[in-house]
């Protein structure tokens, strides 16, 4: 069985180009998982249901479940993107990047 790969990825956004829509409440569609990848800096991921927060870094990606309401907040200088999957992302999607 082959490992799931993202079917789409956003462009890389920084603290200035991060769209307002990602900074306010939104969610993925039914059947879509998102993996938020921080390439540089830190990004706060706020889940609204159930309520919690997670600090994302290059070593700590964030998982968004289908239809899970959330928003992100840059914590200073940041570079990030979102990878979208049509099935649960594989464990390797959460591995720390190789240097």
SS (HEC) of the chain: CCCCCCCEECCCEECCCCCHHHHCCECCCCCCEEEEEEEEEEEEEEEECCEEEEEEECCECEEECCCCCEEEEEEEEEEEEEEEECCCCCHHHHCCCCC
Predicted structure pTM score: 0.92
pLDDT level of residue 99 (50, 70, 90 thresholds): very low
Tokens of 86: 């049509």
Percent with pLDDT over 90 in the chain: 85
Q: Which domains does the chain have, with CATH numbers?
A: 8-88 (2.60.120.10)
Q: Taking all residues of the chain, what is their mean pLDDT, rounded to a whole number?
A: 93
20-42 pLDDT tens trace: 999 999 999 999 999 999 999 99
DSSP state of 65: -
């Amino acid at each position: 069985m082959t490992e799931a790969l993202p079917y789409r990825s956003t462009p890389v956004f920084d603290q200035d180009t991060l769209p307002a829509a990602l900074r306010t409440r939104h969610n993925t569609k039914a059947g879509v998982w998102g993996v938020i990848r921080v390439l540089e800096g830190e990004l706060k991921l706020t889940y609204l249901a159930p309520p919690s927060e997670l600090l994302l870094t290059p070593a700590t990606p964030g998982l968004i479940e289908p239809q899970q309401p959330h928003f992100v907040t840059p914590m200073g200088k940041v570079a990030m993107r979102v990878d979208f999957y049509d099935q649960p992302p594989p464990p390797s999607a959460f591995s720390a990047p190789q240097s």
